[in-house]
Amino acid sequence: MATIATNLQTVFRRIQRACEQNGRDPASVRLLAVSKTFGPDAVAEAHAAGQRAFGENYVQEGVAKIDAVRALGIEGLEWHCIGPLQSNKTRLVAESFDWVQSIDRLKIAQRLSEQRPAHRPRLQVCLQVNVDGAATKAGVAPHEALALARAVAALPGLRLRGLMAIPDPQPTPTAMRAVFARVAALFAEVRAGLGNPDGFDTLSMGMSDDLEAAIAEGSTMVRVGSAIFGRRPPPA
């Protein structure tokens, strides 16, 4: 049975191979291990294998896990909130996480900025874009992304780093690449609209099943869960 350490090495090889095939430096793509529904011991095992950045979808589960991992004596991890965020959860996130990748409304960004503790570095954030336009999916509409980016970039407690997207699966790798290419084009458009700031450098797209297509279209961060930790059990 494969271990988390073995799975991590397999994912790193996939990232390296995809970068080499597209003329990219493997160091230009970061791996975010999505640890939602898996316990502190799984995070500890991934940490022992060299992984440092972890993503959580559910705020309360994530905060409890951050505390539990710290209680194990593990420090120096980078925690990303990657799930939809409601107003009543922003304080928990502002106090506990290092990144938020799922900002799609100015109200949420303003609350995070106001509630970020003064002794902590600015919260690193990405805007989630709804590239598919699905009514049931979170994310700012592509045509509204630049205006939201300008407003978020002005907030003192946040540092705007880029865009995140979770497009629907497509029937072929070519079709998947086409969707990722649209996100990459929007990233370039928003970056130019902000004046090409050096800190706007993160394009978070690609998961276990499609990271190669995302890397081919310019992803700088892939969010991988099941390929590292195993398939998640169905919801109760």
Q: How does pLDDT run across 171-180, given as a tens digit for each residue?
A: 999 999 999 9
pLDDT of residue 89: 97
Would 21 be classed as within a structural domain? yes
Would 234 be classed as within a structural domain? no
Would 235 be classed as within a structural domain? no
Would 212 be classed as within a structural domain? yes
- Longest CA–CA separation in the chain, Å: 50
- Of all residues in the chain, what percent are helix, strand and coil, respectively (each to 5)? 45, 15, 40
Would 236 be classed as within a structural domain? no
CATH of the domain at 158: 3.20.20.10
Q: Which domain holds residue 175?
A: 4-229
| pTM, full prediction | 0.95
Would 107 be classed as within a structural domain? yes
Integer Cα distance of 169 and 115 in angstroms: 35
Q: How does pLDDT run across 63-88, given as a tens digit for each residue?
A: 999 999 999 999 999 999 999 999 99
**DSSP letter at 102?**
E
Q: How does pLDDT run across 213-223, given as a tens digit for each residue?
A: 999 999 999 99
Would 113 be classed as within a structural domain? yes
Give every CB contact of residue 225 below 8 A, 6+ residues apart in sequence.
Answer: 33, 34, 35, 36, 55, 207, 208, 232
Would 136 be classed as within a structural domain? yes
Q: How many domains does the chain have?
A: 1
